[in-house]
Amino acid sequence: MRVKDVMNTPYVVDKDITIAQAAKIMSDKGIGSLLYVEKKELKGIVTERDIIKNFNKAGKISRIMKTKVYTIGPKDDLDVALNVMKDNHVKRLPVVDKGELVGIITLTDLMANSEELNEDFIFE
């Protein structure tokens, strides 16, 4: 099974919003991350964990987001996604095709499709 078969539509913000605004969006939408894209370029990802760790701080998401974002292609196998997540200790991978953001795949998506994986589903 391929990443494109299980990926979801990511929630994207195109400006550097406040941490409080990000928390509200994530809560209202029931999502675990926001992708910050500026001029079609992926600038970073902010997750629930980032929000929780920095909730008492004022400022913009650019101060707390991860700017080193691991990505995957839509045609990659789910096993590749699992290995990228395991190797880099991340739970979410933006899906990029020809330089353009087309989706997001999460650890939850992989768990829901674990029967399709060739590897054991274990994080160290």
Q: Tens digit of pLDDT for each residue in 53-84?
A: 998 888 999 999 999 999 999 999 999 999 99
pLDDT tens profile 6-52 = 999 999 999 999 999 999 999 999 999 999 999 888 999 999 999 99
What's the total number of domains in the chain? 1
Give me the CATH number covering residue 64.
Answer: 3.10.580.10
pLDDT-derived band at 122, boundaries 50, 70, 90: low
The answer as to whether 122 is a domain residue is no
Is 123 within the bounds of a domain? no
From the list 94, 95, 72, the residue with the least C-alpha distance to 83 is 72
Q: What is the pTM of this model?
A: 0.87
With respect to residue 110, please indicate whether it lies within any of the assigned structural domains: yes
**What pLDDT does 120 receive?**
57
Q: Which residue segment(s) compose the domain that 9 sits in? A: 3-116
Looking at the domain assignment, is residue 43 inside a domain? yes
Position 88 in a domain? yes
In a domain, residue 12? The reply is: yes
Task: Return the H-helix or E-strand segment holding 29.
Answer: helix 19-29
Residue 8: which of 86, 114, 113 has the closest Cα?
113
Q: Could you give the dihedral angle defined by the CA atoms of residues 71, 19, 23 and 67, in that order, rounded to the nearest 10 degrees?
A: 10
Q: Specify if 103 maps to a domain.
A: yes
